[in-house]
Structures are given as structure tokens and as C-alpha cells.
Structure 1
Amino acid sequence: MTAGIKLAAALSGGVDSSVAAALVRQQGYRVLGITLWLMRGKGSCCSDGMKDAARVCEQLGIAHHIVDVREQFEETIVDFLVTGYQQGVTPLPCSRCNKELKFGLLLDYARHKLGIDRLATGHYARNGFDPETDRHWLARAVDRAKDQSYFLYDLSQEQLASAVFPLGELTKDQTRAIAAELGLSVAHKPESMDLCLVEAAGSMRNFLDNHIDTRRGEIVDTAGKILGEHDGAHHYTVGQRRGLGVAAAQPLYVVAIDAANNRVVVGGREEALTHECIARQVNWVSIAEPTAPIQAMVQVRYRAQPVEATIIPLPENRVRIVFTDAPQFAICPGQAAVWYGGDRVLGGGIIA
């Protein structure tokens, strides 16, 4: 069924995307490799990644295209991230990058320049089409430890229709083994543990300090009492405990960022608990938008355990999420809330 069908493989120069490209080639697709040039410097999204991707394409015997999107990356991801931190939220750049760049600009390039409508990536996720609902679905990967469906919740139906996730049924160890078996040059390349932006800048703190002027301000408790001083509110995120520099009888956590007044608000663990939250810019994935509340398992951070909740549709593309069993700790504005039915992604949105 796949023999002769043209497909673009998004290559970052890492093990996962390289094995994904190799697998779809083995399946009979006519594969072309595409790498997005996201930023200047060294790292997986810069020159190092492009060189490794080129070597893999040479090994696989496929053409390699580099698409310069540095300007769009600056506008779509860097500015988005910086603006979010300036506003006191903790943005989720990976989901935005997947939607706007990988399955946006890269897929558009493949369609309009190369005549290709299928895009394979190294994401650990699964997808397909359900004729009963007439919708493309997205689901968790078999390897739950590596599952990246959380970062893909915002893909449209059209984007999912073009997506191919060859690693969805594999574990990371199996992916490494395939890379070694094929003799890929990146088989033993260490896994990148940080955002590409962090990797390029050395740390998130360095990255933000390069873009945001540091302004000292107050650290206060939830009653407004001044407890100390911070060296830049953008250095903090909701739920943070370490590095507050405030002495207290009990452990303190960041419970809010008051960007308007340049204040970091801290409190005890119980003050960081919440029974519900609002998600905006909702994208319904494996099901159409419901007309009544539904029950689902909700994940409020990438590494958070899913918890049972009621999802209540609201006007203006929003939902209210009410946690069923217990209040949740450190619900962080700017992160995604993604709700699941079994392994399938039902929908998701940005925490307000």
C-alpha cells in the first residue's frame, strides 16, 4: 500500500527522527529528508543537528532538504516564549512548534515545493482514522515513558491526516537497537534533555536573561506580606520550591506570578492546590466538541500523572476542568491541559 508513495521525513539529527526515516523507507515509501534550520549556533536545532541529519540521509540514500525558518522561529516561538514569561505565565513552546513549524511550515514546504502530503516524524505517539466518528485520532505511544501525545494535542484534523508516527509502537530501547542494527551514525548519540532553546543558550535562565531585562522585586506571601526579594520574576514558575531564597518554618512554593506588580507570590503547599481550572484555545482531537460535560483523565503537565476530571464546555472555545478526586498541585498558567479517554487524546487547551 505504501510502495512508491512520496513521504517527507522531518529530521533533527537525533536518533528518533533518523530511525523514523529509516523505517518508512523500509516500508516502501519514497522518502525525502527535511530539516528545519531554526536558529544560529550549535545544538540539535542548529548546525550540529543539520550535519547529523545530512549524514543520516546520505546513509539512507535519500535526498536532504534544509528549510531556513530562523526568522519564523524567532517570531513564532522565541517571541511567544519571552512574551509569556513577561506576562507571568510558563508557555509550552514544544506544542506550538509542532503545530506551527513542523506540521505547519515544514509540511507546507513539502506540499507546495515537493508535492508531498505525508510527513513522518520521530514523535512517540500513534494516530489513525475512525470511520465511526469520521475523525482522525491521536493516542499515546506504547512506550508511556516516552509518550509525546501531550505535545501534539493541538494538531488539526488536516495535520493529523498527513502525520506518520513510525515510533508509536516502539520503546526507546527498541529504537536505539534499530539504529545500531542499521549502523546509523547517530545510533549512540546522547539524547537531548532540554528544549532546543535551552540547549543553545546553556540554560533557560540564560535564554530568558538574554531577552528580558532583569528587574528586582518583592517576594510576598498570599496575604501580601513581604518575605524577600527576587532578581527577576521571569526566573520563577508556579510550583517552584528551590531557589526562593526565603527562610520559613515550612516549605514554600511559588503559587502565582504577579507580573503587573513584579511580585512573586509564595505559600505553603496547601495554598498551591486547586480544585478546578479553565483551559482556553481548546482543540478537540479524537472526538468532536461535546455539547455536555464529559469525564476524562486530564494531564496538566508533561510529566504529571493523569487524574480524573469533569470537562465542562464553555463559550469562546474554553472548558472548565473540575478535578474529581482531589485538588491538584501547582496548576501552571501557560502549560497545556490535555484530556484522554483511554489512550486517545480527546482534546486539550492552554491553562488560563
Structure 2
Amino acid sequence: MKKVVVGLSGGVDSSTAAAILQQQGYEVVGLTLWLMKGKGQCCSEGMIDAAYICEQLGIEHHVVDIREVFQTNIIDYLVAGYSAGITPLPCSQCNKTVKFGPMLDYAREHLGIDKIATGHYAKITYDAATNRYQLRRAVDRNKDQTYFLYDLSQDLLAGTVFPLGETTKTETRQIAAQFDLKTANKPESQDLCLVEANGSMRQFLDKYITPKQGEIVDATGKVLGQHEGVHHYTIGQRRGLGIAAAEPLYVIGLDAVMNRVIVGDRTSATQSECTVQRVNWVSIAEPTAPIRAEVQVRYRSQPVSVTVIPLENSRVKLVFDEPQFSITPGQAAVWYDGDIVLGGGVIERQ
């Protein structure tokens, strides 16, 4: 019998993924990663629901304490980024270094199983012509999570199954109800796990970064107001600036060294190009010449046409066909060919 380890967060998606695989004839083992204490699907509350689901399905349930890895790779990473005046994206980092990598390692080393599965909305196919696994968008474009999965290696893609790739969120809940899963009607998480556990990103950051008052200035250096900490702001932000102006102002720069928030009009918050570092070429080998693609620079942004120019040291330059608003250092840029994820990386500070 085929065996698979399913990462269970205590939510409806991972629960349904486990039930689907069991129905398909897999011997399923449940695995929950203990990331941190507190409320939320990745915390104590989620672990209890995950244990209940395993009991419902009659499968083993393993809990792996990975709090130190989470602290180093996510919390310390976020705090260092916000302290430096960038806005890190924790989810991509978490998927590779905290979730998928450790899960597959545990499955192989402790359980003798070489496949893992999660409740992510994405698809994996194999291209024999290039001998590469391809990461593809899910059928449900509203739930597609490939933007957060761009950093998965070929080894991780080869060892991963996404049972919900062909399923819409509505269908997932229907399937969960058919299996009478406890989580069938569980509300969906609307925030990062850290936000869920701490109340808000501001509250989380203020636990680690001491707020320090500084100036809000325009591009010429004119002082327009005061702020309570650079880490409370992000590029493109308009609300909560606390300054009056004749036209809408947006955050266009964060100077952690001078402790300044720089603002400007919408035009000054747009860019025609940016550079991206720590690039992972997912479904194709790294090209030697520029390629055309569609890129997302935020999870909920629409893909836009771009020329991707390879640079040295795992970097690329993105040249947009039309200038883009709010290109935010620390966030991910992920480029596609149709539904295939070509590659992605972290936007650099310009």
C-alpha cells in the first residue's frame, strides 16, 4: 500500500486532504508541526483539532516540536527585516525551511515514507522532456497558493502531493462534510499565524522591536509629521500616516538608519523595474537570456507582463511593461508562463 505523511494544521483544507488520500487507498500518517504556543491553526488550538481528525480517520498522529526552527527562520527573520526597514514575506520562507523541508526529512528518516501531502491549493506535474517537476496554479484561482510555494526545490516537489489542486474551496468544504470531518465548517484563517496568535502584526513586532519616534518626510527631506517606529510602515501604505496634505500621500521609502519614513504622491510610489534576489527557478532551468513572463509582486495582485533578465548570484531584473505601484522590498516576486510557476525570489531594496 502507498504511504503518505499529511501535514495537519487543524484546518479544513489539510483535514480534507488527508481524507481524500485515505479514500484513494493511501496509508495516511498525520503530522503536525508545533510552531509556537497560542491560538490559531498553527498553534495549540490547531494541534488539538488535528489530533481529533486523526482519531476520526483512524490514523497515526505525530507531533514534531519545531519551535526553535520557527523562531530562527521566521520570527528572527521577520524582526531583522522590519528593523532594517523592509517588509519580509514569512510564508514562502516558512513553507521551504519550516514546513516542507522538515516534514519530508521527518517522513523519510523516522517513518520510512518518501511522500508528504498538504492542503495547499496548487498542482505538481512532471515534464519528462526537461526531467523537472513543475509547480502549477490550482484550479481555484481565488485560493491558488503557488505565490507562496515558489521556493520549493525539485526534491521537495518530487516528494509532495497536493490533493486539493483540482478542487475549489467550496468543493473542499462539501467533501469535508461528506466525510463528517469536525473541521468541515471551521472558519478560515484570515491572517498570518503570527497575527492570529498576537492580535496584530503591530503587537507582534512591538514585542521584539522597541518603538522609536522619528520623522515623516517628503522626498526633499521636508518634515511633515512624526511616526512611532519605522517597523510600523510598509511601502505603498496610505492609511494611518497621521499627516494632512493636499493630495493623497503614500510611503515610498523607509530609512531605518535615519529612522525616517519617506512619503510621496502615487506616481513616486510606482516603479518600472526592480531587482530580485535569492531566486529559485522552479519549473524550468535558469535561462541564459531574458524571457517574457507574467509576474505577481503581491499575493493578491493581478499578474502583469514583464521581461525577466537573469543576473549573477541568483538574481534577476524585472522590467515591467507598465510601471507598477508599491514594489515592496522583502516581498516575493513570482513569475509565470500561464499556470506554470517559472521562478520567484525576494524583491531587493533599490
> 5 Å matches for 1:114-153?
114-153=111-150
CA distance in 1, matches of 2:18, 2:323: 43
1:42 is displaced (CA, Å) by 2.0
Partner of 1:289: 286
> 5 Å matches for 1:150-189?
150-189=147-186
Displacement over 4 Å in runs of 4+: none
Structure 2 stretches lacking a partner, 5+ long? none
CA distance in 2, matches of 1:125, 1:94: 15
> 5 Å matches for 1:1-352?
4-324=1-321, 326-352=322-348
CA distance in 2, matches of 1:43, 1:102: 16
Count of matched residue pairs: 348
Structure 1 stretches lacking a partner, 5+ long? none
The root-mean-square deviation of aligned C-alpha atoms, in Å, is: 0.6
1:101 is displaced (CA, Å) by 1.4
Amino acid at match of 1:77: I
1:107 is displaced (CA, Å) by 1.4
CA distance in 1, matches of 2:302, 2:43: 33
Amino acid at match of 2:324: Q
CA distance in 2, matches of 1:117, 1:220: 54
Q: Deviation per CA, 1:119-177, whole angstroms, max 9, x where unpaired?
A: 10000000111001111100110000000000000000000001100000010000010
| Secondary structure in structure 2 of the residue aligned to 1:255 | strand
Amino acid at match of 2:302: Q
Q: Deviation per CA, 1:187-228, whole angstroms, max 9, x where unpaired?
A: 110000000001000100000001101100000001111100
| Secondary structure in structure 1 of the residue aligned to 2:80 | helix
Amino acid at match of 1:313: P
CA distance in 2, matches of 1:101, 1:129: 25
| Secondary structure in structure 2 of the residue aligned to 1:210 | helix
CA distance in 2, matches of 1:321, 1:346: 13
CA distance in 2, matches of 1:156, 1:249: 49
Amino acid at match of 1:334: G
Q: Deviation per CA, 1:262-302, whole angstroms, max 9, x where unpaired?
A: 11010000000100000000000111000100000000000
Q: Deviation per CA, 1:9-65, whole angstroms, max 9, x where unpaired?
A: 000000000001111111111110000000012221111100000010111110000
Name the % identity: 66
Amino acid at match of 1:129: Y
| Secondary structure in structure 1 of the residue aligned to 2:98 | helix
TM score, norm. by length of structure 2: 0.99
Amino acid at match of 1:302: Y
Amino acid at match of 2:315: R
| Secondary structure in structure 1 of the residue aligned to 2:164 | coil
1:5 is displaced (CA, Å) by 1.2
| Secondary structure in structure 1 of the residue aligned to 2:205 | helix
| Secondary structure in structure 2 of the residue aligned to 1:220 | strand
CA distance in 2, matches of 1:93, 1:45: 14
1:344 is displaced (CA, Å) by 0.3
| Secondary structure in structure 2 of the residue aligned to 1:89 | coil
